[in-house]
Amino acid sequence: MSWDDWEAYFEYERSGYIFEEDKDESANKPVHLYLVDGDNHINSAIKRIKMADETDDVRIFVSQEGLYQKLIKKSHPHVKPIKVEPGDQAVDNRIKSVLGNAVKSKTYEEIYVISGDTGYDDLIEKYRRMYNLTEDELDRREDF
């Protein structure tokens, strides 16, 4: 089974993996998903951590162990640092995978990729056309 298949069944948590069916469906679901590219936008992400609330699901993708540990220490209930194994375009590819699953699941009212990297734009445009989404529902931003 490929990693993309596994991601369809599991969601990363700091404590490990949990099955989708084990999640508490009674909890308030966030309406905004922010996928933060920690390779190039980490400073604005760190400033923004304390501003997240129950309507936000902020996931910060990083490949550096030291930065990951720093984010864990600054942890906030609505912010999930996600460690990505270092490699060429590893963070970008992981964000694209999570983005695809999030768009398909229709769990969030708004999904934003926070990055200065324009490499996400074509995929975002493809998903907008495919799922009839507006810029207010799916977009890439350079800041929150």
- Identify whether 19 is part of a domain: no
Q: In the numeric block, which tokens belong to residue 103?
A: 């768009």
Domain coverage including residue 136: 25-141
CATH code at position 50:
3.40.50.1010
pLDDT for the residue numbered 116: 86
* Pairing of β 110-114 and β 138-141: parallel
Q: Which helix (H) or strand (E) holds 79?
A: strand 79-83
For 4, the 3-state DSSP assignment is helix
Q: In the numeric block, which tokens belong to residue 142?
A: 């350079």
pLDDT in tens, the chain (144 residues): 445 444 544 444 434 444 444 444 435 678 999 999 988 767 766 777 777 888 899 999 999 998 889 888 877 888 899 999 988 889 999 999 999 999 999 999 999 999 888 999 999 999 999 999 999 999 998 877
Residue 55 to residue 44: CA distance in whole angstroms: 19
Number of domains into which the chain is organized = 1
- Identify whether 39 is part of a domain: yes
- Identify whether 96 is part of a domain: yes
- Identify whether 43 is part of a domain: yes
- Identify whether 93 is part of a domain: yes
pTM of the entire predicted model: 0.77
